[in-house]
Structure 1
């Protein structure tokens, strides 16, 4: 590896339509371009076509079951139950993933909440694939790095075991906040030397912008349907959240604001469109309702849209995070402790609401306070963003020493 270009694989839910996941990939790609421009890169991911088109990386499908839909040759697969198909998929991935790992010197899992269970996931999906990847790294001597991961205490026993083992088998781990590191230690995922660094998104450059008064508010919405154990009530939970956000948008319009609806994942678009239709249906002012939703698929496009607003009310984690990265006064609607940790990191920890107790009237007052205090908030966010960039430079230096150092003594 000292003489040949390192072979580096990027692993995870990349290219799947989640803006935040792809943003962390972009941060790692920029790091690799600066530190190891000779590296040979590819990806095993959820959206290989999108990753190849956008980043020019050769990419393969992470899970066999999620690949192109072809008529199965096997009669067993044609007539088998869902459990049979899942079982076959697990067996195929148990061979495919190690074969991919073996071809690499380094595999990086860039950011993301890959060690958490804030949102629904099944153990045979990413948790199992990630465990197989880390185990293969250990067997074949491929260095596996979880960089800036989010973690929670996972109540689902099998899922928790798979996530914990995948993390412990890695050569390098870092966490995006203290809440994640504390949870990882409680789950047995973390080692004594593991560190907290800001989320990788803070390493991304922000586009040039000219501050101007637009009177516009960014409202970030998502297809929120509760925790993994609430699948039976998922539709009810999502309908309640959507109704409250629709009420809030109507109030903003009545108060004279313009509204731009934002999402953080392509799965959120139906919710944004429902809120848009509701706002237009209830508008009684002159002309068309001053509310807009424009689809986007990259963090750069999200930043461009955020550049047109003066304040943000956000739900999905990375929508909130990118808003803060751009210095936008923001209120976070929290569905996990990661939101609280992020807002505290940025010095605005009091500007939050829990999604479970979402109060539209309180949200309206919190938004008003953003405009009253925006000069102070903006200064605070600028200071914290600078500190975050400095901390991430420290992490990248550490990552280089662990993954690419020729002296084994430097590798912990």
Structure 2
């Protein structure tokens, strides 16, 4: 699409991209980068600002060139003692609503681009009652009068808590355009009466990231295996010492210990919250095989930015992924993959690629079973790579089509800015009103 020139004398359309940006999650930041760079490269008359639901935002290097606002309140405004924080929480909802209202009204449109907006596994942008109320207000304000509200390639699952589900559904009913990351996400929201059967199913927008053209490494020399970890909510809130005793970390340590005599291993995460799990895993392995072996045969990557993760995977034969966007990075790299799943989205992606047999469950993880899957992938590496690369090309086309849908929305919004509302709300055409 050719770049557009600014409409003479008019202020640019100000669009907020809403999500968990700058919180240390590489998937959220990669989504922001893909969408914002596309818009800035194709629309001279659109100003893009990232709007994060984070309380405290420290942008990662992948988005530090993009303007960012946070809906959360500054940390210094909270109580400094336990009693102070408890008292403060009584007023948090009211203060948050006022902040959401003030910030959202600064934009002509608010667009949710990707993310697990309605996941029930404690990672949702609208997680918790305060978040759900804030999300509802954002949708309400963004769809009021000359404002606009849309969602692109979002994901989630059925929500059990009735009030939060009600607020989510009402929020989604204000969107003039909706599409979903996968069929399971769409089915979940349709089942909650917050979407229609003709809403579009796309793919994760991060698949619009160009695939790395660098050649995959040959299989000469020791195997290289990357182990991607995740701090699942059910692992608890303890630090490395407590996490080291969990069955999940112990099983991964079994795998690393088995691999080290013949392979080199990299350990990495996809969110800053994963750091204690990485530390716990390395400690356990070091206690079993010794410091010198770990020093020479184990690499600790931390949680590099998404593009850096894709680059590093160029030298890896097999990637074991617990986080969804680490799995996406492996797909973009076109390497052998195994998924340690605790999310519907992970299972869906592997099923689309025809490699459901390479999915193991995170809960009750069996180290020996995972070792056997790794050996299977190594033995059939070309076939696995072919399946992954074919699926990635299909998903890339779908993600690019979604970006073109966004182009159409931006064009329409710009044309209708001075002639009244540019769309008819979808609230009227949805089925029955959601109930608690």
TM-score (norm. length: structure 1) = 0.88
1:336 aligns with 2:343: yes
Q: Which stretch has the larger CA shift, 265-274 or 353-362?
A: 353-362
For the Cα contact (< 8 Å) 2:208–2:399, is it kept in 1? yes
Choose the corresponding residue for 1:5, options 12, 19, 24: 12
Give yes or no for the alignment of 1:141 onto 2:146.
Answer: yes
Q: Secondary structure at the match of 2:119?
A: coil
Aligned to 2:306: 299
1: CA distance between counterparts of 2:237 and 2:289? Answer: 34
SS in 2 for 1:114: coil
Q: 2:400 aligns with which of 393, 397, 404?
A: 393
Which of the residues 208, 223, 231 maps onto 1:223? Answer: 231
**Corresponding position: 1:185 with 2:190:** yes
- Cα distance in 2 for residues equivalent to 1:149 and 1:238: 35
Partner of 2:178: 173
Aligned to 2:273: 267
Identify the residue that residue 85 of structure 1 maps to in structure 2. Answer: 88
Alignment of 1:119-268 (within 5 A): 119=122, 122-213=127-218, 215-226=223-234, 239-254=246-261, 256-268=262-274
Aligned residue number for residue 319 of structure 1:
326
SS of the residue aligned with 1:16?
Answer: coil
Q: Distance in 2 between matches of 1:309 and 1:133?
A: 42
- Which residue of the partner structure matches residue 70 of structure 2? 61
Q: CA–CA distance in 1 between the matches of 2:281 and 2:243?
A: 16
8 Å CA contact 2:78–2:85 kept in 1: the answer is no
Question: What SS does the aligned partner of 1:223 have?
Answer: coil
Q: Distance in 1 between matches of 2:160 and 2:375?
A: 38
What's the CA shift string for 1:203-255, capped at 9, x where partnerless? 0123442322362101001112329xx999xx78982211221222111214x
Instruction: Return 291-300 or 216-225, whichever deviates more.
Output: 291-300
CA distance in 1, matches of 2:182, 2:78: 45
Q: CA deviation at 1:285?
A: 10
CA distance in 1 between counterparts of 2:245 and 2:199 reads: 36
Partner of 1:354: 361
Contact (CA 8 Å) 1:331, 1:367: kept in 2 or not? yes
Query: What is the CA–CA distance in structure 2 between the aligned matches of 1:91 and 1:377, rounded to whole Å?
Result: 52
Q: What is the deviation of 1:141?
A: 3.3
Counterpart of 2:118 (choices 111, 115, 118) is: 115
Per-residue deviation, 1:139 = 2.4
Deviations 1:70-128 (A, max 9, x none): 576xxxx9785645322322111211112222121221212111111123665234323
Instruction: Structure 2 unaligned segments of length 5 or more: list them.
Output: 1-5, 417-421, 427-436
Taking the aligned partners of 2:37 and 2:198, their CA distance within structure 1 comes to 26
Counterpart of 2:48?
41
- Deviation at 1:267? 0.6
Q: How far apart in 2 are the matches of 1:309 and 1:18? A: 22
Aligned to 2:3: none
What 5-or-longer segments of structure 1 have no aligned partner? none
Judge conservation of contact 1:106–1:403 (CA < 8 Å) in 2. Answer: no
User: 1:282: which partner in 2?
Assistant: 288
- Pairwise CA RMSD of aligned residues? 2.8
Q: Deviations over 1:341-361 (max 9, x none)?
A: 111122222210122232211
1:289 Cα deviation from its structure 2 partner: 4.8
The TM-score, its normalising length taken from structure 2, stands at 0.84
Map of 1:20 onto structure 2: 27
Q: 295-304 or 178-187: which moved more?
A: 295-304
